[in-house]
Each structure stands twice: as C-alpha cells, then as structure tokens.
Amino acid sequence: MYLSVDLLDGRGFNFLTIAIAVIALVSGTIGVIYARRALFPPKREIAYSLESSAPLLNNASNLQNGISVIHNGTTLQNPYVTTLKIRNSGRHAVASEHYDQGRPLTLDLGKPIMDLTSSAPGSYSAQGTSITYGPELLASGHGVKFTALTEGKPTLTIRHYFIDTKVIDEARKSFRPSYVDLTSILAALMGVISAILSIWAS
C-alpha cells in the first residue's frame, strides 16, 4: 500500500503519467505503420531511361567519303545506335506474377530495330520498332541495359501492364525522401524515453 501511495504521489505520479503516454505513443505508431502496410500494399517501381542515341553516319561523311552501313545485306540510310536501360528502383522485387496476364513491358523506339543486344540474359526480343521484356524477375536494384541498332533516330515510348508497380522516367525522377523503416522509428522513440528517464532521475 505504501508503494502505491508513493507512486501516485507527486514525482512518482508524474513519471507514471509520462511513461504511460510514451508507451501509448509507441504502440499507436506501430499500429499505424502496420495498418498502413495492410491497407496499402508496397508499391514496386521500375525506372526506364534512354541513356544515349548517336548516328553512325553524318551527311558529310556519307556524301564525301562514300561510307555506308550494311546490316544483313541491307544498306541502312540513317543508322542509329541507342542504349536504353530499365531498372528496379523500388524496394521490392518485380516478379513474373506482377505482369498482368503475362504481358511484357514494351519499349517502342518508333523506328525499325535492325539488331539488339542485352547486358543480361532473359525474356526479351525485338519486333518491328519495339523491344519486349518479361515476364521476368527483376530484383531490387538490378537492371537490364539494351543496345539497339535502328534505321532512323528513335524516340522512346513505354507500354506496360504491371500490377501494383509504378513505372517512371529516370530522367524526370524527382527527389523523394528516403524511406524510414520501423526500426528507425522505434530507435528514435526509445531515445526519447531514455531522455525522459534521465531528466526524471536527475
């Protein structure tokens, strides 16, 4: 009984009030974080970029020196070599099941693709003016780079059918604050509790 009276009196009562408030704050924060994760599944993110595009010939060299580019027996009038990249810029892997109905990501260059190479093996192909990729697992932080030979200067257009996955232009990607995980939040709250206890004990 003496202990109960002592705790509920003056300084002890103030400490209990602060401790209960801090515990409630920690519990509420954890609840909000898990509720948000349950209601809003984590977004995956794919970033794409056209890194470079350069002509193999210019008018001066073509006219003055008679230089031409021949690919598989076909003379190309305006050949371009283009490098483009797709990258998993999110925190979660993009797996085969995230391609709706198994439809691939399409990168349309708007000009006939004469040849195509890739930095990594996988499900990709070139048809007409388009490169298709997937369905294919793309782990977080991983990417694939393509080098294409086109007849004419390309312009990149993207078509996709991803599920719960955002697709963004790397060049237009704006600054976003870094993700603060649950561990960081709890560490900060524990620091607050330690500070309060230190003040109370002094």
What are the pLDDT digits (tens) for 38-77? 555 567 999 999 999 999 887 655 555 667 888 899 899 9
What is the value of pTM for the model shown?
0.65
Determine whether 121 is exposed, middle or buried from the number of CB atoms within 10 Å of its CB (0-12, 13-18, 19+): exposed
What is residue 28's predicted lDDT score, i.e. its pLDDT?
A: 67
pLDDT above 90 (res 179) = no
As a whole number, mean pLDDT of residues 98-123 equals 94
As a whole number, mean pLDDT of residues 152-176 equals 86
What is residue 14's predicted lDDT score, i.e. its pLDDT?
A: 61
What CATH code would you report for 44-171? 2.60.40
pLDDT above 70 (res 197) = no
d(CA 4, CA 13): 10
List, as own/partner pairs, every contact residues 71-75 make where C-beta atoms lie below 8 angstroms and the sequence separation is at least 24, other chains included.
71/114, 71/115, 71/149, 72/114, 74/114
Q: How confident is the model at residue 177 (pLDDT cuts 50, 70, 90)?
A: very low
Place of tokens 């093996």: 121
Residues forming a β-bridge with 116: 148
What is residue 38's predicted lDDT score, i.e. its pLDDT?
A: 53
pLDDT above 60 (res 99) = yes
Per-domain boundaries in the chain: 2-41+181-201, 44-171
